[in-house]
Amino acid sequence: MAEEIKDVMVEESPLLTVFRKEAHDTMLNRINLATAFKLTPQELRTEIENFVFDFAQERRAQITKREQISIARELVDDMIGLGPLELLIDDEAISDIVVNGPFQIYVEKAGVMQLVPVKFRDDAHLMQIAQRIAHRVGRRVDTSSPLCDARLPDGSRVNIVVPPIALDGVSISIRKFSKKAMDLHNLASRGSLTEEMVRVLQIAATCGLNIIVSGGTGSGKTTMLNALSQLIDPRERIVTCEDAAELKLQQPHVVRLESRPPNIEGKGEVTIRDLVKNALRMRPDRIVVGEVRGEECIDMLQAMNTGHDGSMSTIHANRAREAFIRLENMVAMSGFDLPSEIVRAQIAGAINMIVQTERLHDGTRKITEIVEVTGINERGDIQYQHLFKFVPMGESEDHKVIGRFEAKIEQPAFLDKAITYGLDKELLNIMRTAIEKNGGETEDDDTY
């Protein structure tokens, strides 16, 4: 597979380009498509390979065996796959694929976005693949319905925008679904957080803290939520609510719910709010919401406030403090006309911890803040304190961010919960050790 990817990344000769087009056009005339689609993928690949070998001999084409096999695969991908995107999707080192028209495709590898010499034949070819993606999940995408969110069979998220909304041609954005569930220790080994932070999060999850993972687009929110969800006791009943199923919970007692957009007639929609409301009737121990974006926020807060300890979700916000602002605004979107002090009390009573993720300019992802909600002050403001912060300290010669994780408080507010689980002494030792190691200064409470 790596060699096939490497082949794609090299600009090809004009001779090969001409042969590919001729092979494609001839194949459509010679192969019985109705019969071909009844074959298994492997049988179809063998059939197409035989055709390409014969066609190369007919044309006396000066192309190698490897190039013939590569062209055969491309033809198969065009018939039943995602065309030139198929190889990129199969490359596990690629995390994101962005298509800006037929001749410009970017991928993200190791946190760095790069242009690759992989192209569609023309606008019609790209539109054909876009419509195939939408059709497979029962959606449509065309000039009358130019926006589409979909999911590939492997769980990867896809967003499609077509003209007239997309002015420069069809745009496809694919956030690939990682087949390997990352745990907190994996993330620590990559420098996203420290082992002390890992253990504090493990204790927080064991103690049933309600946790929100906050961050911008591509910052690693879902990866962190997946890692945190692995810490849930396997004896508990978990209900997940998602727009696109991305969570990979390994526990035995999990019920997964997924929202559904309206059909072509505008009927049949099932929103995240519908799922969260229904989840409350399913006798869950914990509810995990993939992401809160709007009116479902009030239902999630009520769930967290009514005995579903240890529930989790993600939210789009660039700082932990901004997460509180976003939550308050989303409660307002739910149609409840409540005074701000009541809304803030609801938030402070429901959420115990915010884990802030960030994608830095060098492409690395860090847990930049772990914030603990401590309550409400006399003015009705939410009080919170930092347990950990990532402090940038410059840039290396190879443009990598240099920094350190600092512990900011010796005694977390959830120490009383840790006592219940016999984890209080360990929690105190971890925080004291972390402060001694990095020399971070303790901080006073912040408010929102």
Rounded to the nearest angstrom, the gap between the alpha carbon of residue 235 and the centroid of all alpha carbons in its chain is 27
End-to-end Cα distance, the chain? 51
> What does the pLDDT look like over 265-287, one tens digit per residue?
778 889 999 999 999 999 999 99
* Greater model confidence, 396 or 184: 184
Q: How far is CA 437 from CA 178, 286, 368, 411, 434, in A?
A: 34, 35, 18, 16, 5
When pLDDT is cut at 50, 70 and 90, the band that residue 425 belongs to is: very high
* Bridge partners, residue 292, by sequence: none
Domain termination site, one of 175, 201, 235? 175
Same domain, 348 and 202: yes
When pLDDT is cut at 50, 70 and 90, the band that residue 69 belongs to is: confident
Is residue 316 packed enough to be buried (19+ CB in 10 Å), middle (13-18) or exposed (0-12)? middle
Half-sphere exposure of 35 (CA within 13 A, CB side): 6
User: Rounded to 5 degrees, what are φ and ψ at 302?
Assistant: -65, -40
Q: How far is CA 316 from CA 212, 213, 293, 327, 330, in A?
A: 10, 9, 8, 10, 11
Q: Which two tokens stand for residue 366?
A: 């860090």
Q: Report the alpha-carbon distance of residue 73 to residue 233 in Å, rounded.
A: 45
Same domain, 269 and 190: yes
What pTM does this model have?
Answer: 0.80
Is residue 206 packed enough to be buried (19+ CB in 10 Å), middle (13-18) or exposed (0-12)? middle
* Nearest by Cα to 155 from 240, 245, 88: 245
Same domain, 34 and 112: yes
Same domain, 279 and 205: yes
User: What value does the mean pLDDT of the chain take?
Assistant: 88
| Number of C-beta neighbours around residue 128 at 10 A | 15
Same domain, 35 and 59: yes
* CA angle centred on 442, ends 438 and 443, rounded to 5°: 135
Rounded to the nearest angstrom, the gap between the alpha carbon of residue 34 and the centroid of all alpha carbons in its chain is 37
In percent, how much of the chain has pLDDT > 90? 55
Same domain, 210 and 236: yes
Instruction: Assess whether pLDDT exceeds 70 at residue 388.
Output: yes
Kindly give the pairing relationship between strand 94-100 and strand 105-109: antiparallel
Q: Report the alpha-carbon distance of residue 193 to residue 312 in Å, rounded.
A: 19
Quick one: pLDDT at residue 445?
65
Same domain, 197 and 130: no
- CATH number of the domain that residue 116 is part of: 3.30.450.90
> What does the pLDDT look like over 22-40, one tens digit per residue?
887 787 677 666 666 677 7
Q: Name the one residue in this structure whose structure tokens are 């590569």.
A: 70
Q: How far is CA 423 from CA 229, 351, 416, 417, 429, in A?
A: 19, 20, 10, 9, 10
Same domain, 415 and 355: yes
Instruction: Assess whether pLDDT exceeds 70 at residue 9.
Output: no
Instruction: Assess whether pLDDT exceeds 90 at residue 173.
Output: yes
Lowest mean pLDDT segment, chosen from 190-194, 232-236, 357-361, 434-438: 434-438
* Greater model confidence, 77 or 347: 347
As for how many domains the chain has, the answer is: 2
Instruction: Assess whether pLDDT exceeds 70 at residue 45.
Output: yes
Expressed as residue numbers, the domain containing 112 is 2-175
Quick one: pLDDT at residue 444?
57
* Greater model confidence, 48 or 288: 288
- CATH number of the domain that residue 306 is part of: 3.40.50.300
Kindly give the pairing relationship between strand 105-109 and strand 286-289: unpaired
Same domain, 56 and 126: yes
Instruction: Assess whether pLDDT exceeds 50 at residue 140.
Output: yes
Quick one: pLDDT at residue 54?
83
Is residue 253 packed enough to be buried (19+ CB in 10 Å), middle (13-18) or exposed (0-12)? middle
Contact 447, 348 (CB under 8 A): no
Is the bond preceding 164 in cis, omega lying within 30 degrees of 0?
A: yes
Same domain, 27 and 151: yes
Instruction: Assess whether pLDDT exceeds 80 at residue 10.
Output: no
Domain termination site, one of 156, 175, 194? 175
Quick one: pLDDT at residue 112?
85
Instruction: Assess whether pLDDT exceeds 70 at residue 442.
Output: no
Same domain, 196 and 168: no
Q: Report the alpha-carbon distance of residue 93 to residue 209 in Å, rounded.
A: 34
Domain termination site, one of 175, 197, 227? 175
* Greater model confidence, 439 or 417: 417
Half-sphere exposure of 245 (CA within 13 A, CB side): 16
Lowest mean pLDDT segment, chosen from 112-121, 135-144, 276-285, 361-370: 135-144
- Cα torsion 428, 435, 216, 242 to 10°: value is -20
Same domain, 408 and 388: yes
Q: Report the alpha-carbon distance of residue 304 to residue 307 in Å, rounded.
A: 6
Quick one: pLDDT at residue 349?
93
